[in-house]
């Protein structure tokens, strides 16, 4: 009888050990599966998005969202604009975002929504632009999708997207006796002298006169800007000056206003 009880005890001990072993394996398997299913954490700012800011947007929406900090941000923008600059508003958008607005893309819709926050600025002093984001915006949280730039916008100097237009009077090359032009070129000279960037100058004319004379006139206009930059310390090797003459009008030569817009030197800074 004693031997029978001992045998039963041993068998029970073995069975309990087997169950414990199986349970341990299943628990380990569950823990491993759980660990492998954890999603990686991204550190891409565009993908993560921002939770708050003075001016934000939601995914696939052109509506602007502002908070209590917007009033101070707006005042900073207005103060920086001054009296002789144009406010360029660039709306950003993701390639995969759905555009349900009437604008060509969500970037323009967002820029327009931001523009409406500045009713005190006349339309002629605002330019709306758009640009696709380099990486996808956050689909859950609001994110920043608007940039503000200040462009020179005087009678004789106008900055546009990638170049600056310097205007000349009829049959003139000596336009640098102008404070607006010289002030702008002083800033250009300071920038490119420090950065080593290249300056490309292209002289243009209206169509009054023959083509050869206008090509020569365009070259003189580019050369006088080049000479001024050199006088301000820009190495000559950093400047290229050419002429397009009358071949690239930006407006009609049938009116004086159009011809005046065509009499210009275009300045581009190449990084």
Mean pLDDT for back-to-back runs of 10 residues, the chain (271 residues): 49 52 45 30 36 90 96 96 90 97 97 98 94 95 96 86 82 68 93 96 94 95 94 97 95 90 93 85
Q: Do 266 and 163 have their domain in common?
A: yes
Q: What is the pTM of this model?
A: 0.63
CA distances from 270 to 81, 90, 125, 182 (A): 25, 21, 26, 20
Q: Does residue 37 belong to any structural domain of this protein?
A: no
Q: Does residue 27 belong to any structural domain of this protein?
A: no
* Alpha carbon distance 174, 114 (integer Å): 40
Q: Which helix (H) or strand (E) holds 92?
A: strand 85-93
Non-local CB neighbours of 118 within 8 Å, separated by 6+ positions: 74, 77, 78, 87, 126
Q: Do 171 and 263 have their domain in common?
A: yes
Q: Do 130 and 190 have their domain in common?
A: no
Q: Do 148 and 169 have their domain in common?
A: no
Q: Does residue 10 belong to any structural domain of this protein?
A: no
Q: Do 138 and 198 have their domain in common?
A: no
> What's 128's domain CATH number?
3.30.1330.60
Q: Does residue 23 belong to any structural domain of this protein?
A: no
Tokens of 175: 């336009």
pLDDT of residue 83: 82
Q: Does residue 165 belong to any structural domain of this protein?
A: yes
Using the 3D structure, point to which of 132, 152, 172 is the last residue of a domain: 152
pLDDT of residue 43: 30
Q: Does residue 140 belong to any structural domain of this protein?
A: yes
Please give the residue range of the domain that contains residue 176: 157-270
Q: Do 167 and 76 have their domain in common?
A: no
Q: Do 170 and 256 have their domain in common?
A: yes
Torsion region of 30: left, alpha or beta (phi above 0 gives left; psi -120 to 50 gives alpha): alpha
Distance of alpha carbon 18 from the chain centroid: 67
Q: Do 165 and 130 have their domain in common?
A: no
* Alpha carbon distance 212, 203 (integer Å): 13
Q: Do 147 and 235 have their domain in common?
A: no
Using the 3D structure, point to which of 152, 172, 203 is the last residue of a domain: 152
Q: Do 211 and 261 have their domain in common?
A: yes
Q: What are phi and psi of 11, to 5 degrees?
A: -65, -45
* Alpha carbon distance 209, 246 (integer Å): 9
- In the block, tokens 């206003």 appear at 257
Write 256-263 long-range contacts (CB < 8 A, 24+): 258/206, 259/170, 259/206, 259/207, 259/208, 260/167, 260/169, 260/170, 260/206, 261/167, 262/204, 262/205, 262/206, 262/207, 263/167, 263/168, 263/169, 263/170, 263/172, 263/204, 263/205, 263/206, 263/221
Number of structural domains (the chain) is: 2
Q: Do 242 and 142 have their domain in common?
A: no
Q: Do 56 and 140 have their domain in common?
A: yes
Q: Does residue 7 belong to any structural domain of this protein?
A: no
Using the 3D structure, point to which of 137, 152, 167 is the last residue of a domain: 152
Rg of the chain on CA atoms, in Å: 33
Q: Does residue 173 belong to any structural domain of this protein?
A: yes
């Amino acid at each position: 009888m004693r031997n029978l009880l001992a045998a039963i005890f041993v068998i029970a001990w073995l069975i309990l050990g087997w169950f414990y072993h199986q349970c341990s394996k299943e628990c380990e398997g569950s823990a491993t599966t759980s660990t492998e299913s954890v999603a990686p954490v991204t550190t891409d700012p565009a993908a993560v998005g921002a939770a708050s800011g003075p001016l934000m947007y939601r995914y696939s929406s052109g509506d602007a969202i502002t908070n209590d900090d917007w009033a101070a941000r707006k005042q900073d923008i207005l103060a920086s604009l001054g009296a002789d600059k144009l406010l360029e508003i660039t709306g950003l958008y993701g390639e995969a975002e759905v555009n349900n607005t009437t604008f060509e893309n969500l970037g323009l819709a967002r820029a327009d929504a931001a523009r409406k926050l500045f009713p005190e600025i006349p339309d002629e002093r605002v330019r709306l632009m758009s640009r696709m984001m380099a990486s996808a915006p956050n689909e859950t949280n609001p994110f920043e999708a608007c940039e503000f730039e200040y462009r020179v916008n005087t009678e004789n100097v106008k900055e546009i997207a990638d170049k600056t237009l310097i205007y000349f009077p009829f049959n003139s090359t000596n336009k640098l006796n102008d404070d607006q032009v010289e002030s702008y070129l002083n800033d250009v000279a300071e920038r490119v002298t420090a950065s080593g960037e290249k300056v490309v100058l292209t002289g243009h004319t209206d169509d009054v006169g023959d083509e050869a004379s206008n090509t020569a006139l365009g070259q003189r206009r580019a050369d006088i800007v080049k000479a001024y930059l050199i006088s301000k310390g820009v190495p000559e090797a950093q400047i290229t000056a050419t002429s397009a003459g009358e071949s690239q009008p930006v407006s009609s030569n049938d009116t004086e206003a159009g011809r005046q817009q065509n009499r210009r030197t275009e300045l581009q800074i190449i990084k």
